[in-house]
Amino acid sequence: MGSVRNVSKLLVANIIAQGLGIVVYPVLTRMYAPEDFALLSLFTTLAGVFVLFATSEYHYAIVLPQEDSKARALVHVCLLLVGMTVLVLCLALPFSHFIAGLFKAPDLARWLWLLPVCVASLALWNILNYWYIRRKAFSRISGYQISQSVFAASGKIGLGALGWLPGGLIVATALAPLLSLLLSIGLAWRKHLNELIAFRREEVRSAAVEYANFPKFNLPRALVNSVGQSLPIWLLTPVYGLESVGHLSLALMASFVPLNIVARACYQVLYQKVSENVQQRASIRPELRRFGLWTGICLAVGMAIVYIIVPQLVTILFGAEWIESATIIRRLFPYLILMPVCGSLSFLSDVFAKQKIAMWMETSYVAATAVALVCGIHFGDFLHSVSAYAWVGFAYLAAQLAWFISLVSRYQKTL
């Protein structure tokens, strides 16, 4: 019952937070142009790559140790890495125009000064998020999610109304995580965070070595995953321009966000529960069976309905000028079907120390994605490129799900 209650708590917070982000999009799509959303996608995909370097995936290990001192040392490892990454980004700022030129998006250079701020805020939240998971402080996670969404939504609308076009989307996206992070630290300091002050160099060095598989295998895998998700934006923007990629950006947001609401909440609670059971050599099959049953039913029914009505939904919500995004969403459906299930279970490779296999699977997927997109570009068809991307994603997720099932079955046989 505790797991169900925690999933419900996070699910409600995700629905509120992500729902607010979706609710304001009918306003934003009538305020900003497709090119503005494309610039935002370029900024966020760049930030997403550097966030990975900022903790080198050590933050995932915070949940695993039985001793709090070792978990605290992992937090300090992450903090040191965040400082190093932000310093590198600051040193790269003089090259902003060169970076923007690679994507044939010169306006991007005006806003790259926000990249170190955004990366630092998101990386620090990743650290706190997994510390909160370890402490079962799910209310703190919920509070961050809601406040971050409120700050981002109000900032995008407010800055847009003031005429900050296209920068309003980027400024609000970069600063909202910082404001929410400061708020969370202030509220949770006494109960959950003040013990993190104690810094012991030897413990930090020991923890970095003991959990070296996370940067060694998880980081390359996560980088490959991030690059794979960014490839449609990076490869298609210079060829088809900001307008087409702006429609793609809206399609990705409108389809990924609702699915990630469920996936993120299930992931956070399942990770804590499954890792705890594995530490105690207890069965994990009943928990995962319940998850698979209910998630499968909800997804099958929900996505069938959405596929039918998506053109009408896009027209009503975002305006008739965004109808191309509805076509793109339908092309993405093969990928969307399995994405929330595999996303919820992605922690299994960490729990069973199979990061190396996961890394090579991810690398193969990104290579196939790149080939598919390049083939679509070669034939000069934007929608064919999107379809190729979606079907490659479906094949990869199907293979990943089969692998997860085999990992669980092997563990169960050892009990």
Q: pLDDT tens digits, residue range 157-192?
A: 999 988 877 789 999 999 999 999 999 999 888 888
- pLDDT-based confidence at 274, cuts 50/70/90? confident
- pLDDT-based confidence at 371, cuts 50/70/90? very high
Half-sphere exposure of 111 (CA within 13 A, CB side): 26
Q: Are residues 196 and 225 located together in one domain of the fold?
A: no
Cβ atoms 228, 362 nearer than 8 A: yes
Q: Are residues 319 and 358 located together in one domain of the fold?
A: yes
Q: Are residues 172 and 274 located together in one domain of the fold?
A: no
Give the model confidence (pLDDT) of 333-369 as tens digits. Answer: 999 989 888 988 988 988 888 888 888 888 898 999 9
Beta strands in 19-131 (DSSP E): none
Q: Which of 149, 176, 211 is the last residue of a domain?
A: 211
Rounded CA gap, 109 and 174, in Å? 15
pTM (predicted TM-score): 0.79
- pLDDT-based confidence at 6, cuts 50/70/90? low
Nearest CA among 262, 261, 280, 260 for reference residue 351: 280
CA 127 to chain centre: 14
Q: Are residues 91 and 127 located together in one domain of the fold?
A: yes
DSSP 241-289: HHHHHHHHHHHHHHHHHHHHHHHHHHHHHHHHHHHHHHHTT---HHHHH
> Where in the sequence is the domain holding 185, given as residue range(s)?
1-211
pLDDT score recorded for residue 43: 96
Q: In this structure, what token pair is assigned to residue 233?
A: 């934006």
Q: Are residues 262 and 333 located together in one domain of the fold?
A: yes
Q: For residue 124, give the DSSP letter.
A: H
pLDDT score recorded for residue 94: 95
pLDDT at 8 over 90: no
Q: Are residues 158 and 307 located together in one domain of the fold?
A: no
Q: Are residues 47 and 117 located together in one domain of the fold?
A: yes
Mean pLDDT of the chain: 89
pLDDT at 220 over 70: yes
pLDDT at 16 over 70: yes
Cβ atoms 311, 282 nearer than 8 A: no
Q: Are residues 117 and 233 located together in one domain of the fold?
A: no
Give the model confidence (pLDDT) of 22-49 as tens digits. Answer: 789 889 999 998 999 999 999 999 999 9
Q: Are residues 195 and 316 located together in one domain of the fold?
A: no
Measured from the Cβ of residue 153, the count of other Cβ atoms closer than 10 Å reads 21
Q: Are residues 161 and 260 located together in one domain of the fold?
A: no
Give the model confidence (pLDDT) of 242-264 as tens digits. Answer: 999 999 999 998 888 778 777 87
pLDDT at 292 over 90: no
pLDDT score recorded for residue 276: 84
Q: For residue 114, give the DSSP letter.
A: G
Q: Are residues 166 and 287 located together in one domain of the fold?
A: no
pLDDT at 2 over 60: no
Q: Return the H-helix or E-strand segment holding 168.
A: helix 167-188
The total number of structural domains that make up the chain:
2
Residue keyed to tokens 């990454």: 85
Q: Are residues 1 and 107 located together in one domain of the fold?
A: yes
Cβ atoms 151, 172 nearer than 8 A: yes
pLDDT at 219 over 90: no
pLDDT at 130 over 90: yes
pLDDT at 134 over 90: no
Task: Tell me the one-letter amino acid at 301.
Answer: V
CA 295 to chain centre: 19
Q: Which of 211, 230, 264 is the last residue of a domain?
A: 211
Per-residue b or e along 352-379, where b marks 16 or more CB atoms closer than 10 Å to that residue's CB: bebbeebbebbbebbebbbebbeebbee
CA distances from 358 to 39, 59, 197, 292, 364 (A): 31, 18, 34, 21, 10
pLDDT at 313 over 70: yes
pLDDT score recorded for residue 322: 93
Q: Which of 211, 231, 257 is the last residue of a domain?
A: 211
